[in-house]
């Protein structure tokens, strides 16, 4: 009995992130006549390669992302996707599509002389991880996916039109403010119009409202730091413009459930799916549908978490996964 209790205690110990580290390499890579993307490497140059794909699209990389991987075991590659972070031109929408990002990833892999890698992505990062793996399955030796998002109409409708609005009516009131009453039947297109306006103030006002909506709904327990970060001009402009551009274009998926339909291409790859029960940004239905289509992948619902990778239960499961995959 006592032993069982101890075992349970052990299971309840949450894994914390690794200490902060600086990259040992960083560079810009020209990926088209228009775009240069920022790439960095950290950890152990002789470690197992892992690719980190950030969210949004348009979120850019954050130093904390390096801390989910044991720096002695992993050679970690982080990319600022087109138009965000340190990539240039900033907030650019031309030549910025899912399939161009997939090709950028291949360019980075080839440039670094990496044969194959573990791919780690949450939210939009999970979308892009699936799109990349289904296009280049031979290059992926493992997938760690969190807060599953497959960019289908029902997912966009839930978060940007009606659904999440019922759980966060207070934050939703701020989100809709820049949009005229008569345009509120289609927030996605109404925001797109403002986010691509020639007038900087119109763009900025819309970008902040859009971005703060996501910041305010990302965690089970509201986090004012997150809202503040998402509301910063520079972050909001790239994040909102790029997200909205991808979403009005349905992510260039065809059919819209392309990622699920093509799941057989990657079912042989070792994978972990991690999902917060109370994820309001990317509700658990998508993770559940992915689990049903891909029963071989480890599947974890974290009972006391929302959408963010920094929530303790999610953070712990992600680190368990990188530790397990380090020995793959």
Catalytic residues: 123, 279, 307
- Looking up tokens 């791919």 gives 119
Chain residues binding ligand STX by CB under 6 A are 54-56, 59, 123-124, 149, 214, 218, 243, 281
Please say which residue, 129 or 218, places its beta carbon nearer to ligand STX: 218
CA distance 325 to 50: 10
Please say which residue, 52 or 124, places its beta carbon nearer to ligand STX: 124
- Looking up tokens 């997912």 gives 155
CB of 40: closest distance to ligand STX in angstroms? 16
CB of 162: closest distance to ligand STX in angstroms? 16
**Cβ-proximal residue to ligand STX, closest one:** 55
**Which residue from 100, 80, 104 is spatially nearest to 23, judged by alpha carbons?**
80
CB of 59: closest distance to ligand STX in angstroms? 3
The two beta strands, 48-53 and 117-122, are parallel
Please say which residue, 135 or 308, places its beta carbon nearer to ligand STX: 308
CB atoms within 10 A of CB 95: 13
Please say which residue, 212 or 269, places its beta carbon nearer to ligand STX: 212
CB of 182: closest distance to ligand STX in angstroms? 26
Q: How far apart are the first and last CA of the chain?
A: 34
CA distance 276 to 85: 26
How many angstroms from the chain centroid is the CA of residue 9? Answer: 31
Please say which residue, 31 or 280, places its beta carbon nearer to ligand STX: 280
How many angstroms from the chain centroid is the CA of residue 111? Answer: 23
CA distance 278 to 301: 10
CB of 65: closest distance to ligand STX in angstroms? 9
CA distance 10 to 69: 21
């Amino acid at each position: 009995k006592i032993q069982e209790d101890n075992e349970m205690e052990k299971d309840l110990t949450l894994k914390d992130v690794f200490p902060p580290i600086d990259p040992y390499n960083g560079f810009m890579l020209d990926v088209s006549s228009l775009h240069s993307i920022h790439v960095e490497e950290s950890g152990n140059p002789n470690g197992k390669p892992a690719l980190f794909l950030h969210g949004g699209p348009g979120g850019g990389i954050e130093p904390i992302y390096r801390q989910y991987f044991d720096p002695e075991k992993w050679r970690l590659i982080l990319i600022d996707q087109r138009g965000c972070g340190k990539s240039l031109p900033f907030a650019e929408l031309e030549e910025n599509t899912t399939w161009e990002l997939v090709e950028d990833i291949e360019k980075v892999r080839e440039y670094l002389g990496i044969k194959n890698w573990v791919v780690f992505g949450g939210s939009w990062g999970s979308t892009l991880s699936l799109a990349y793996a289904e296009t280049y399955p031979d290059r992926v030796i493992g997938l760690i996916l969190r807060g599953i998002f497959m960019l289908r109409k029902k997912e966009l409708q839930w978060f940007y039109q009606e659904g999440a609005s019922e759980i966060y009516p207070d934050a939703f009131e701020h989100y809709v403010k820049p949009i005229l009453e008569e345009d509120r039947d289609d927030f996605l297109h109404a925001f797109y119009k403002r986010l691509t306006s020639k007038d900087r103030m119109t763009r900025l006002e819309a970008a902040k409202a859009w971005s703060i909506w996501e910041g305010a709904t990302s965690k089970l327990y509201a986090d004012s730091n997150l809202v503040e970060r998402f509301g910063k001009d520079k972050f909001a402009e790239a994040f909102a413009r790029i997200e909205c551009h991808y979403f009005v274009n349905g992510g260039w998926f065809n059919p819209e459930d392309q990622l699920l339909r093509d799941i057989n291409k990657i079912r042989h790859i070792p994978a972990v799916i991690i999902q917060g029960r109370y994820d309001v940004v990317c509700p658990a239905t998508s993770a559940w549908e992915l689990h049903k289509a891909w029963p071989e992948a480890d599947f974890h619902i974290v009972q006391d978490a929302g959408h963010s990778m920094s929530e303790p239960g999610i953070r712990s499961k992600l680190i368990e996964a990188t530790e397990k995959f380090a020995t793959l």
